[in-house]
Amino acid sequence: MSTENEDNMKSLIVRFRRAVRTLNKIRSEAEKVYPQANYYLEEDNLHLMKGPSHDSSLNCEAQHENSIAMEYMPRSGGGGW
């Protein structure tokens, strides 16, 4: 890898880590209101959840009402409701 590519990759890694730290802070703030706050990656949609994404029954029913916010995040994959 060339020096320019290495520098670009280092920059991407730094920015990625900063973005994840920001997401962790958002979740931590949400936990003050919703103690079970978490993230759920549903296909290419990242959800900020106020509680579990699925119930604890054998059917594992989706809990759409627990989604506080959703943002499209292309090429992220994830489970599906």
pLDDT in tens, 3-45: 889 999 999 999 999 999 999 999 999 999 999 999 999 989 9
pLDDT the model gives residue 4: 86
pLDDT in tens, 38-60: 999 998 999 999 999 998 887 88
Q: Given a cut of 80, is residue 78 above it in pLDDT?
A: no
pLDDT the model gives residue 11: 95
The full set of domain ranges for the chain reads 3-72
> What proportions of the chain, in percent to the nearest 5, are helix, strand and coil?
40, 25, 35
Cβ 40 vs Cβ 47: under 8 Å: yes
Backbone angles phi, psi at 62, to 5 degrees: -65, 140
